[in-house]
Amino acid sequence: MTTEIEKAEQTLATLQAKRAARIKRGTDLADERAAVALDAHTGNAKAAKRLAEIHSAIATHGSELTSIDAAIAVAQRNVESAKAAEAAAEQKRIAEQARLIIDRADSLFASADKHLKLALEALKAADARIEELHARGFAFPTAIQVRTNALFAVQSSLMALPKYWWNELSHGGVRFLAPHERRSFQQFWSQMAGSLGREIAQRLGEVKQKEVA
């Protein structure tokens, strides 16, 4: 589909080609006038007639060239106007896209706030459950063990942030973890829960019962 810019440029190119042809025509007329001028002014009737025709053609040619130049000036402005209109339309399209992006970013940051708050509340609640275990005589896992693993899990999550975010965090002292240090909260807790489950089974005598069975 031909755009308005392409149409305007095609019109301008056609006029410029037409002007070039008129310039050549003017050169040809001038050359022919020079060729017949002597004969026309020394009694050659045929040459005189042709010279009169050339004069008339040159006069018309000058007027045509002036009108073509005027048309080219308008065509150039039309090209500029078409380009300006397309640029304005493109800026409008980009602005509309930006509005959608901003709306989406609003919802994403709101979601981040919501889920981060929930995550922090869950972590505080989990820490309280560990304290309940300690109150019931379970030494494992210690507060240091839970804190160390939880911090590793937090850092592992932070490492998934965009690179330039991570660079800012690393300047603040957050360390990039080695592969063996990376973990999720569920990963480290599932191992601790397994050890706790075995200790609970021993206290309940379930291990001995299973051995007898």
pLDDT digits (tens, 9 = 90+) for 30-83: 999 999 999 999 999 999 999 999 999 999 999 999 999 999 999 999 999 999
Confidence of residue 127 (pLDDT cuts 50, 70, 90): very high
Cis peptide before 179 (omega within 30 of 0): no
Q: Which residues contact 185 (CB under 8 A, 6 or more apart)?
A: 123, 126, 150, 153
- End-to-end Cα distance, the chain: 83
Confidence of residue 143 (pLDDT cuts 50, 70, 90): very high
CB neighbour burial string for 134-159, b if at least 16 within 10 angstroms, e if fewer: eeeeeeebeeeebeebbebbebbeee
Q: Which residues contact 119 (CB under 8 A, 6 or more apart)?
A: none
What is the structure's pLDDT at 95?
98
SS3 of residue 41 by DSSP: coil
Q: Which residues contact 127 (CB under 8 A, 6 or more apart)?
A: 146
- pLDDT tens digits, residue range 11-21? 999 999 999 99
Region 108-131: mean pLDDT is 97
What is the structure's pLDDT at 151?
95
Q: What ranges in the chain are assigned the alpha helix state H?
A: 4-40, 45-135, 143-158, 163-171, 185-203, 206-212
- Alpha-carbon distance of 47 to 162, in angstroms, equals 86
Domain spans of the chain, in order of start: 4-102, 138-212
pLDDT at 210 over 80: no
CB 199 within 8 A of CB 138: yes
Reading phi first (left if > 0) and then psi (alpha if -120 to 50, else beta), residue 137 is in left
pLDDT at 209 over 60: no
What is the structure's pLDDT at 187?
97
Confidence of residue 2 (pLDDT cuts 50, 70, 90): confident
Region 113-138: mean pLDDT is 97
Calculate the average pLDDT of the chain.
94
Largest CA distance in the chain: 144
